[in-house]
Amino acid sequence: MKYSALSLLRAGLGGHKDWPRAWRDPDPKPHYDVIIIGGGGHGLTTAFYLAAVHGVRKVAVLERSWIGGGNTGRNTTIVRSNYRLPQLHALMELSLKRWEGMSDEINYNVMFSQRGALFLGHSDSDMLQLAQKGDAMRADGIDADLMTRDQVARLIPLLDVSSTARYPVQGGLIQRRGGTARHDAVAWGYARAADRLGVDIIQNCEVTGMDITGGRITGVQTSRGAIGADRVGIAVAGNSGRVAALADLRLPIESHLLQAFVSEPVKPMIDTVIMTQSLHCYISQSDKGEIVLGGDPDAYPTYSQRGAPHIIEKAAAEALALVPALSRLRMLRSWAGTTDMSFDGSPFIDATPVEGLYFNGGWCYGGFKATPGSGWLFAHLLARGESHPVAAPFRLDRFETGHTMDEPGVGPMPQNR
């Protein structure tokens, strides 16, 4: 059924008891044209665009647990394209443009709110870097505005911009088209939209092996039996190394963790996404009213989804110094997601040495914003067997050939990002 104001009214009159399930719960078929491993945002958008854009309808998405239960539901929901390198501009701007039309495209309200994503500058060198980044963005047609301290103070009245502040604010760079979205809705909306186009979304189905004959993939072994496929795409960021190991592949990725936490809900107090150039703390307020905070990655390989308290303490201290009014809030929850850390901070969307097996991963801690763009580009690769021009630089072998895309310029150690 199509969601609309009328369907909402009708269901409301019936006490909301007659909503049909949003997507089917099919058993796996013996064979598919394309199997996507991973039912997170990237896998689901890939399946949707395979069906909607490329006409590939015999598609299955295999999810080890449930839809939206992995990193799609563990991020801080920030969407932006304020990068510096042209390759990342192309990728993230393609994605941001898809965000802007997403709710209409999939007939599901993902509550995409372009409230502005602001990077604060705390020193002369911060402001220089922000100005350079803004120039680079505008040269590639992406919106960016440098702001003075007074302009920042008017935008975020609760920010401490005094000269005695722990982190003095000199100004900032805002991308007004940036913002936040409801992350669960992205997973559910694309699952429903893909399902309506005939994609089988198979939950509680863990891939345990890959059937490879003569260097070509013919299917996968799963906890629900063997499933054949002409092409297989891996989109399991966080567990990329483990799934790739099933095909004897070794990746330029380490799995680390990133924590986030939210406060009790309060009335609207921050209507912009606040990030900073010198600190690693980001602050936004969800539509429920919770203050959402994130900080540094824990900086060592782990699959535990359980971070250390000194990281939370640091992020909280920075947030309190920036917005002292947060000091009376109680934190409700903290959690961690497993991040697919690549060695230059940029992702991979590429074919693998196994014919018919394709890889999408290495999104570090920035995969959520790329969800629709990633799916758009991965679907192109899976349908046509060749990379979309925007995805072409994001190769798995770029470290061997020297074509790295190191946005922060910090070298090849994942824990330094």
Partner 1 sequence: MMLIPCPHCGPRAHAEFTFDRPVEAITRPDETPDALVRNLFSRDNPRGPSRELWRHTYGCRSWITLTRDTATHAITDVRPVGADA
Please give the residue ranges that form the binding site for partner 1 (CB under 8 A): 239-242, 245, 250-255, 299-304, 306, 308-310, 343, 399-400, 412-413, 415
Cβ nearer to partner 1, comparing 308 with 321: 308
To partner 1, the closest distance from the beta carbon of 343 in angstroms equals 6
Amino acid, res. 99: W
Cβ nearer to partner 1, comparing 309 with 385: 309
Eight-state DSSP code of residue 258: E
To partner 1, the closest distance from the beta carbon of 319 in angstroms equals 19
Are 343 and 413 within 8 A, CB to CB?
Answer: yes
Are 274 and 159 within 8 A, CB to CB?
Answer: yes
Three-state SS for 173? Answer: strand
Are 63 and 201 within 8 A, CB to CB?
Answer: yes
CA distance 174 to 181: 18
To partner 1, the closest distance from the beta carbon of 85 in angstroms equals 19
Cβ nearer to partner 1, comparing 66 with 303: 303
To partner 1, the closest distance from the beta carbon of 404 in angstroms equals 9
Eight-state DSSP code of residue 30: S
Cβ nearer to partner 1, comparing 40 with 373: 40
Give the distance between the most distant pair of CA atoms in the chain.
67
Q: Which token pair is 347?
A: 């992702």
To partner 1, the closest distance from the beta carbon of 215 in angstroms equals 19
CA distance 336 to 327: 23
Closest CA to 365 of 271, 244, 249, 280: 280
Cβ nearer to partner 1, comparing 96 with 349: 349
Q: Which token pair is 361?
A: 């991963």
Cβ nearer to partner 1, comparing 296 with 407: 296
To partner 1, the closest distance from the beta carbon of 242 in angstroms equals 6
CA distance 11 to 20: 10
Q: Which residue has the tokens 């690769």?
A: 381
Cβ nearer to partner 1, comparing 216 with 310: 310
To partner 1, the closest distance from the beta carbon of 349 in angstroms equals 18
Helix (H) or strand (E) holding 147: strand 145-148
Cβ nearer to partner 1, comparing 158 with 245: 245
CA distance 385 to 237: 21
To partner 1, the closest distance from the beta carbon of 255 in angstroms equals 6
Closest CA to 348 of 35, 136, 56, 91: 91
Are 130 and 146 within 8 A, CB to CB?
Answer: yes
